[in-house]
Structure 1
Amino acid sequence: MIWRGGEGMNNKIKSVDPGSVAEEMGIESGDLLIEINGKPIVDVMDFLYFMDDDEIVIVVQKPDGEQWELEIEKEYDEVLGLNFEKPILDEAKRCTNQCVFCFIDQLPEGMRETLYFKDDDSRLSFLMGNFVTLTNMNDATFQRIIDYHVSPINISVHTVDPELRMKMLGNRHAGKVAERLKALAEAGIEMNGQVVLCPGFNDGKYLDETIDFLSGLYPHMNSMAIVPIGLTKFRDNLPDMQGVDEKKAQEIIDQVSVWQSRLLEKFDTRFVFAADEFFLLAKRAIPVADYYEGYVQIENGVGLIRQFEDEALDAIHNFSGEVFQHAVTIGTSVGASGMMNRIENAIKNKFPEVDLKVEVIENHFFGEKITVSGLLTAKDIIDQLRGEMDGRRLLLPESVVNSDGLLLDDLTPEDISNALASPVSILKVSGFAFIDAVLGGIV
């Protein structure tokens, strides 16, 4: 039987890893994965679950309709080496929440369509690290996570108070989070938690309650990050929300510190961490590396500054090659500017001949309350650096572009380069890569 699913079949194979089991079996780009062990493959959860064995039988369909049944012997945890057109082998589930803090609701009109898509898909959580609320799934889908032992899963908790969570997420199903988290823990599912801190909503006693509950699920709940609400200037017809100011940031850090001391003694882990932005807003020093316990929540901006700065200073100290002669400008956000200035001083103290400048780019597009590099637009970069470059190489972090190499306003690094008449390089967010570029000319 030929499976005729149309042109955009979700399980079409995009590429096959060189040297992989799949390549050895003759599977090629353009083939369709039909089934594993007699089971049809609906999505990536099916694929990973059925593949996790040392002997499997798969059926693939060639572009001409011919089907191959392949018996494969492999190591239990060895991957086949297949990459699909759609990573989750399905359409991502759209978020139906109406969160009071939603950043996507604060985007202006006229940006590219993909920016307005809100996902809340558990498959993207364990596959790509996305955070999900657990509200946009029925009981059958939730049970499937348990049955397939999908792990780890990153969960946007925000609060465990049922009424408050329903209010904050704008979803009548949001109040069941505590029972669902307990069920996941009882099933041995590994989790990480996140709280978007909204002053006047989930701070104070509600934050204490959330930390207390989530830490009670340790070690299944590995860690918890607290990040501040991000407010753009595009908030017409949205709820009136307060941002995190210096006083509130200090309050949150102190509150978290009390819990960390208690949990460090009880579990030998701090468990809960405040994002770097709180320390910047509070005008307090970023903690030392040991504080972050291996940077378990770095994707939430917890310890990103400390890791980058320590890597850069280590690379400066150990640099022994010949310094590459070029004029370099670092484009950085307001939030990272203090760190970049410290690194600049360290470079110039050891290598005074280096022609290096740090240029701080303010976020005029979203508003000056937005201070992270990942939300800078090409227009802001161009407008603020025009006339300042004189042919110098501009270094920007990879967080400013998406996987297609586009900034938020759909312009490319090449567009920036053309506008400034200067070369532009996009660097991995790594202190080592940064020093390689500045001192070694490796871009």
Structure 2
Amino acid sequence: MEVEAGDLLLSINGMPVTDVLDYRYLIADETLVVEIEKPDGEIWELDIEKDFEADLGIEFPEEMLETKTCKNNCIFCFIDQLPTGMRESLYVKDDDERLSFLTGNYITMTNLTTDELNRIIRYRIMPMNLSIHTTNSELRCKMLNNRFAGDVMFYLEKFRANHIQMNGQIVLVPGYNDGKELKNTLEDLKSFYPVLQSVSVVPVGLSRHRQGLAELCVFNQEQALKTLDIINKVHLEMKERHGDGFVYPSDEFFLLADLPVPEASYYNGFPQIENGVGMMADFKESLESAAENYENDYSNDSIILAPLSDTVHHKIGIITGRLANTFMTNLMNDLKKVMPKLDVIVYPINNNFFGDAITVSGLITGKDIVEQIKPKLSENERDLLLIPENALRQGTQVLLDDWTLKELTETLGVKVAGVPVDGESLIKILNR
């Protein structure tokens, strides 16, 4: 008789297993005592020896993997701004401390029970990625539309007292948590360094599908400049005191302010690049580095791309968001100085699907690509179109509106491929 589907996993080394997070932490030991209950009620106790990082091969039913959803009604929530008719998974508002650790998602902490908080501390689950937004209790309740959302400082204090490393995020909304409120929030957060390792500040994103929602506005150039001034004063102070800038504005603020994106050294190792903070500086640095060695033979290297044909591609188009158009165009012009035969065109996509206020490449849709690129291809045909992988659903070739790269290729009559957002991958393709 063997362990089989339908058996109940009770405990590992005497600790109960309530979900996947318990399981992941409890199997870390090399010697395990696993308690199993069979369907007939018989209890088995299994002594297992394994390598430290080895899994037990246990699969969990869907109910144990169910995501905890958000209890807030944030005024800036982008999910509330999605049009109807998109795939169901896009409408899930996760606020799950397990995903904060497992996948890097940000949580508001309004979902945390006392038991879950204690488990984070007991297992030392970190870093925790926290949606802070403001340390003003009353304002946070207002922004999250939750009267229980004001105890953010309690959680920050609790995590600091137990040395649980954190990263913080502030979604900045003009007229709410910017200006003086942002100054006060950053002043409060400085005291949590280094347990609070980094804080990112990102501008609110507003789609055209905001019917019935709070009236908000996006940042203009003047507001972006003032915001950067507030952030960079704290950044420089922390850099001088600790050698770490601590607080980092998202790339959009520099573009909105019409300022150059900082050099990679500004970001001190890019602690929040998964949040899109510093992605452009990282890309620029990697592209410049790869360009210096562009004559190297890449023919035997593998590229993480959709399979391309064996045809040599001479005329390439790069698809990007409208906000990054100047940045990408300047980079390609610089690249042409060292690759004079390079024939590349940057195609900025205006986001008609979500509205003009959405300008980043990660929210580009297939419908907008087809409508805006197809007429241009008839004027200046391309052999290959590249789209940044951050516009694709992770691990797939599917865009936000369910267009696939295959469908784009068939509709446009040109091969369309996703490319990692790093200079080396791009250079490899351009140098084929």
Counterpart pick for 2:51 among 74, 83, 91: 74
- What residue is the counterpart of 1:37 in the other structure? 13
Conservation of the 8 A alpha-carbon contact between 1:374 and 1:401: yes
The counterpart of 1:185, out of the listed 160, 172, 175, is 160
Matched residue SS, 2:212: coil
- Is 1:411 the counterpart of 2:399? The answer is no
In the alignment, structure 1 residue 345 sits paired with structure 2 residue 369: no
Cα offset for 1:388? 3.0
CA distance in 2, matches of 1:285, 1:223: 22
Q: Report the CA distance between 1:90 and its aligned residue.
A: 2.2
CA distance in 2, matches of 1:251, 1:82: 53
SS state at 1:335 partner? helix
Distance in 2 between the 1:363 and 1:350 partners?
33
CA distance in 1, matches of 2:225, 2:192: 27
CA contact (8 A) 1:150 1:189 kept: yes
| Per-residue deviation, residues 56-94 of structure 1 (Å, max 9, x unmatched) | 13468999x99893511434xx34375856899521101
Looking at structure 1, the residues matched to 10 and 315 of structure 2 have their Cα atoms a distance apart, in angstroms, of 55
Cα gap change, 1:218 to 1:322, in 2 (>3 Å):
closer
In the alignment, residue 340 of structure 1 is paired with which amino acid?
Answer: M
- Name the residue aligned to 1:293: 268
Question: Partner residue of 1:118?
Answer: 93
Residue of structure 2 equivalent to 1:152: 127
Q: Give the structure-2-normalised TM-score.
A: 0.89
Q: Among residues 411, 425, 430, which one is paired with 1:433 in the alignment?
A: 425
Q: Secondary structure at the match of 2:178?
A: coil
Q: What are the superposed Cα offsets for residues 294-327 of structure 1, whole Å, 9 maximum, x if unpaired?
A: 1111122221111101111211111114695532
TM-score (norm 1): 0.87
Whether the 8 Å contact between 1:45 and 1:150 is mirrored in structure 2 is: no
Q: Per-residue displacement from partner, 1:339-394 (whole Å, max 9, x unpaired)? A: 22122112322222222211111111101111111101100001111143345211
1:276, 1:415 → 2: CA distance? Answer: 31
Shift of 1:122: 0.6
Residues of 2 paired with 1:121 and 1:55: CA distance? 30
- Kept in 1: contact 2:70–2:111 (CA 8 A): yes
Does the 8 A contact of 2:316 with 2:382 survive in 1? Answer: no
Question: Which residue does the alignment assign to 1:395?
Answer: 386
Indicate if the aligned counterparts of 2:313 and 2:383 stay in contact, CA closer than 8 A: no
Cα distance in structure 2, aligned partners of 1:88 and 1:53: 26
Residues 56, 71 of structure 1: 8 Å contact kept: yes
Q: Is the 8 A contact 1:43 1:88 kept in 2?
A: no
Post-superposition offset of 1:418: 0.8
Preserved CA contact (<8 Å) 2:33 2:45:
no
For 1:83 and 1:210, how far apart are their aligned partners in 2? Answer: 44
The DSSP-based 3-state class of the residue aligned with 1:202 is coil
Residue in 2 that maps onto 1:259: 234
For the residue of structure 1 that corresponds to 2:269, the secondary structure is coil
Counterparts of 1:121 and 1:398 in 2: how far apart (Å)?
A: 25
* More deviation, 338-347/131-140: 338-347
Shift of 1:141: 1.8
Residue number in structure 1 paired with 2:306 = none
Cα separation, 1, equivalents of 2:198 and 2:63 = 25
For residues 402 and 122 of structure 1, the distance between their equivalents in structure 2, rounded to whole angstroms, comes to 22
Partner letter of residue 244 of structure 2? Answer: T
Higher mean C-alpha deviation, range 146-155 or range 314-323: 314-323
CA distance in 2 between counterparts of 1:86 and 1:347 reads 51
How far 1:3 sits from its partner (Å)?
A: 8.9
Structure 1 equivalent of residue 282 of structure 2: 307
8 Å contact 2:365–2:401 — kept in the other structure? yes
Aligned-partner Cα distance in 1 for 2:188–2:363? 33
CA distance in 1, matches of 2:386, 2:297: 20
1:333 to 309, 321, 325: 321
Match of 2:224 among 228, 238, 249: 249
Of 364, 381, 388, 2:369 maps to 381
- Residue 342 of structure 1: SS of its match in structure 2? helix
Unaligned runs of 5+ in 2: 299-311
Percent identical across equivalent pairs? Answer: 40
Query: Counterparts of 1:5 and 1:322 in 2: how far apart (Å)?
Result: 51
Q: Distance in 1 between matches of 2:61 and 2:257?
A: 42
What corresponds to 1:357 in structure 2?
Answer: 345
Contact 1:93 1:121 in 2 (8 A): yes
Contact 2:125 2:164 (C-alpha < 8 Å) held by counterparts: yes
How far does residue 33 in structure 1 lie from its aligned partner after superposition? 6.1
Q: Quick one: distance in 2 between partners of 1:313 and 1:216? A: 37
The alignment covers a number of residue pairs equal to 413
CA change 1:259–1:62 in 2 (3 A) is same
Deviates more, 1:259-268 or 1:391-400: 259-268
| Equivalent-residue separation in structure 2 for 1:300 and 1:365 (angstroms) | 22
Q: Structure 1 pair 264/355, CA: closer, same or farther in 2 (3 Å)?
A: closer
- Partner of 2:360 in structure 1? 372
Give the conservation status (yes or no) of the 8 Å contact 1:57–1:71: yes
Counterpart residue identity of residue 46, structure 2: E
Name the structure 1 match of 2:302. none
Q: CA RMSD in A?
A: 2.7
In structure 2, relative to structure 1, the CA distance for the partners of 1:36 and 1:175 (3 Å cut) is same
Q: What is residue 284 of structure 1 aligned with on the other side? A: 259
The reply to whether residue 57 of structure 1 matches residue 28 of structure 2 is no
Cα shift at 1:266: 2.5
Deviation at 1:106, TM superposition (A): 0.6
Residues 17-74 of structure 1 show CA distances to partners (whole Å, capped at 9, x for unaligned) of xxxxxxxxxxxxxx986642244422132113312323213468999x9989351143
Distance, in Å, in 2 between the alignment partners of 1:68 and 1:406 is 45
Range 295-304 or range 323-332, more displaced: 323-332
